[in-house]
Structure 1
Amino acid sequence: MPVTDVTTDAENLTMTVVADLAAPVERVWAVYSDPRQLERFWGPPGWPATFTAWDHTVGGKGNYTMNGPRGEKASGTWEFLRIDAPHSFEVLDAFADDQGTPDPDLPSMRMVFTFEPSSAGTRMVTTSYFESVEALEQVVQMGAIEGTKLAMGQLDAVLQDLRDYAQGKGTTVELLDDTHVRITRLVDGPRDLVWRAFNEPDLVKKWMLGPDGWEMTECIVATVPGETYRNSWAPVGDTEGEPFGFEGEVLIFEEPRRAVTTERMQGQPTETLNDMSLYEEDGATLITVLIEYPDKETRDMILATGMADGMEASYARLESTVLAV
């Protein structure tokens, strides 16, 4: 987690975020001056941002919308007040509507980003200036501190080449909080083929095989919000066990980059929210799945089943399937 300190100062009406980044200043500047790279972390997990306007000049604006997993939206706008590449820039940050018009009922803030060389690479300091104590407290109560930490936690993957960041690490599981888990796996293959492998029944049946000694008996895919999917498995031969399966509803389907679904074991009420995104770089695709559990106990119980090992076996088969297409 690159954020090392977050400090609020009611006397000076500021919130300061310090982050230590393992990349040179020029690389960090490139990330903050390119909306396509900003979109990969400007917004906490589950709320990816899309920049709909970008004029990186003094007086210009950058408008963005963060899209929640259940269709929620939260928009904002930057007005660039000062740009001193690659050392610092300053914006007026405000909540806004979809067209980038600031919302007068919500607080705005002046944000100063500075980048300085450090032994690790770059120390970034972001200082937000508020007009009143009430505005500062309102933003904090809205979850700005935790949201910033979670959003910045995605930055390491953006700063490094994708293969350097994830190749050879297998399936990685990160506990973000009591109810959210992030799972990542790099697949050596283009995003469009990985997307097909998740959404075409003939391909799904080649890799989503279940435990050893089991076979997939049902594969009903869903590609439209509101539709339901269903996958089932059963033991083969002398393998012991009762048939089982999972089902759920599609909430978001944005080919070929993001799909959000609910998931529950057939016949069980407990439901998770699975937010999958695909990002391609240099012919490789990073699969990121953000899972939201109803509570910590359910999270720990499911992780204890060996879910990560099962997912790694499946993703390894998925990679072989993609390479064979």
Structure 2
Amino acid sequence: MPVTDITTDPQSLTMTLTAEFAAPVERVWNAFTTASQLERFWGPPGWPSTFREFDLAVGGRAQYSMTSPRGEKSSGSWEFISIDEPRGFEVIDSFVDDEGKPLDGFPAMRMSFTFEATETGSRMVNTSYFDSAEALEQVVAMGAVEGSRMAMAQLDAVLQDLREYAEGKGTRVELLDDTHVRITRLVNGPRELVWRAHHDPELIRQWMLGPDGWEMTECIAATEVGQSYRNSWAPVGDTEGQPFGFEGEVLLSDAPRRAVTTERMQGQPVETLNDLNLYEEDGATLVTVLIEYPDKDTRDMILATGMADGMEASFARLEREVLSAARS
């Protein structure tokens, strides 16, 4: 993980995060000063950010919102007070409402970013300066330490070329904690088409079949918040297994970027939260699914079913049957 240290100091009223990256200073600077790059990591998993304004100039502002899978929002604003490209910049960091106005009862802080070269790449030091011990305690109590650590852990994927990072590596499963799993797969196709393939019943039936020997017997898609979906599968011929299916509701939809749904096996009460995110670069789309389980035992039980292998078979079919056909 990139973060090597996070220290809070009640005496100096600071919180300092240090991170190491296998990338040159200029590349790290670009990641922190380009809105489309920041949106990929500024916010812990499950709380991706959207920057609606980004004016990289002294006196300029950046405004963003982080949105949870269930639709809760946390918004912030940076006012740039100094810029020394590519060595660092300083901002006044504030909690704001949807209109960009500071929230009463929440502290503003001065925050500095410094970037320096190392033998293996670069080092970033991010220091937040607070007006009081109470303000520091308030931000720490809100989860800033662990949230920052998890957010920075996403930067490795941003700093690399997307194909270099993920192409040919298949479906990858990361255990983030006892109840959260992140699944990633690079597919060679544009984001718009990958989004359609996840939401158009005609396309879904062509690829979302899991291992060979299964057919989709029911496909009811949902594209708007509040709508319900239902998918069912059954074995074909001599394939062993029992018919099964999943159903759920749409909680959030931001086409063609993000969709959050609940999911439960038909006839079962156990429910997961599935957060689908799509990011395109150089004609390829990184599919990321963040899954929230009710507990560790449920997580382990579902992963043990071979879910990841089934997803890989489906993604390979998506590239072969849907994306390749669209290119021909």
Give the TM-score band, short-chain normalised: over 0.9
219-228 or 104-113: bigger deviation: 104-113
Give the secondary structure class of the aligned counterpart of 2:139: helix
Tell me which residue corresponds to 1:182.
Answer: 182
The one-letter code matched in structure 1 to 2:307 is M
Tell me which residue corresponds to 2:310.
Answer: 310
The one-letter code matched in structure 2 to 1:153 is A
Tell me which residue corresponds to 1:60.
Answer: 60
Shift of 1:108: 1.6
Shift of 1:70: 0.9
Tell me which residue corresponds to 1:100.
Answer: 100
1:197-208 alignment runs, 5 A limit = 197-208=197-208
The answer on whether the counterparts of 1:49 and 1:65 sit within 8 Å (CA) in structure 2 is: yes
Shift of 1:240: 3.3
The answer on whether the counterparts of 1:276 and 1:287 sit within 8 Å (CA) in structure 2 is: yes
Shift of 1:101: 1.2
Give the secondary structure class of the aligned counterpart of 1:219: strand
Tell me which residue corresponds to 1:323.
Answer: 324
Shift of 1:200: 1.2
The one-letter code matched in structure 2 to 1:132 is S
Q: Distance in 2 between matches of 1:309 and 1:142?
A: 37
Residue-by-residue CA offset, 1:79-102 (whole Å, 9 max, x unaligned): 111111100111111111112111
Tell me which residue corresponds to 1:24.
Answer: 24
Give the secondary structure class of the aligned counterpart of 2:134: helix
Tell me which residue corresponds to 1:128.
Answer: 128
Q: Distance in 2 between matches of 1:258 and 1:183?
A: 14
Tell me which residue corresponds to 1:144.
Answer: 144
The answer on whether the counterparts of 1:210 and 1:233 sit within 8 Å (CA) in structure 2 is: no
Give the secondary structure class of the aligned counterpart of 1:20: strand
1:142-291 alignment runs, 5 A limit = 142-291=142-291
The answer on whether the counterparts of 1:191 and 1:280 sit within 8 Å (CA) in structure 2 is: yes
Q: Distance in 2 between matches of 1:123 and 1:312?
A: 35
243-252 or 49-58: bigger deviation: 49-58
The one-letter code matched in structure 2 to 1:323 is S
Q: Distance in 1 between matches of 2:69 and 2:201?
A: 24
Q: Distance in 2 between matches of 1:217 and 1:166?
A: 32
The answer on whether the counterparts of 1:231 and 1:247 sit within 8 Å (CA) in structure 2 is: yes
Shift of 1:280: 0.6
Shift of 1:104: 3.0
Q: Distance in 1 between matches of 2:122 and 2:165?
A: 18
268-277 or 299-308: bigger deviation: 299-308
Residue-by-residue CA offset, 1:206-234 (whole Å, 9 max, x unaligned): 11113432211001101111000000011
Give the secondary structure class of the aligned counterpart of 2:135: helix
Give the secondary structure class of the aligned counterpart of 2:308: helix
Shift of 1:133: 1.2
Shift of 1:150: 1.1
Shift of 1:297: 1.2
Shift of 1:317: 0.6
Q: Distance in 1 between matches of 2:33 and 2:239?
A: 56
The answer on whether the counterparts of 2:183 and 2:288 sit within 8 Å (CA) in structure 1 is: yes
Shift of 1:241: 2.7
TM-score calculated relative to the size of structure 1? 0.97
Give the secondary structure class of the aligned counterpart of 2:239: coil
The one-letter code matched in structure 2 to 1:295 is D
Give the secondary structure class of the aligned counterpart of 1:239: coil
The answer on whether the counterparts of 1:63 and 1:78 sit within 8 Å (CA) in structure 2 is: yes
Give the secondary structure class of the aligned counterpart of 2:197: helix
Give the secondary structure class of the aligned counterpart of 2:20: strand
User: What value does the CA root-mean-square deviation take over the aligned residues?
Assistant: 1.1
TM-score calculated relative to the size of structure 2? 0.97
Residue-by-residue CA offset, 1:139-168 (whole Å, 9 max, x unaligned): 111000111111111111111111011111
Tell me which residue corresponds to 2:294.
Answer: 294
Give the secondary structure class of the aligned counterpart of 1:289: strand
Tell me which residue corresponds to 2:6.
Answer: 6
The answer on whether the counterparts of 1:222 and 1:250 sit within 8 Å (CA) in structure 2 is: yes
Aligned residues: 325
Q: Distance in 2 between matches of 1:305 and 1:182?
A: 17
The one-letter code matched in structure 1 to 2:216 is M
Gaps of 5+ in 2: none
100-109 or 269-278: bigger deviation: 100-109
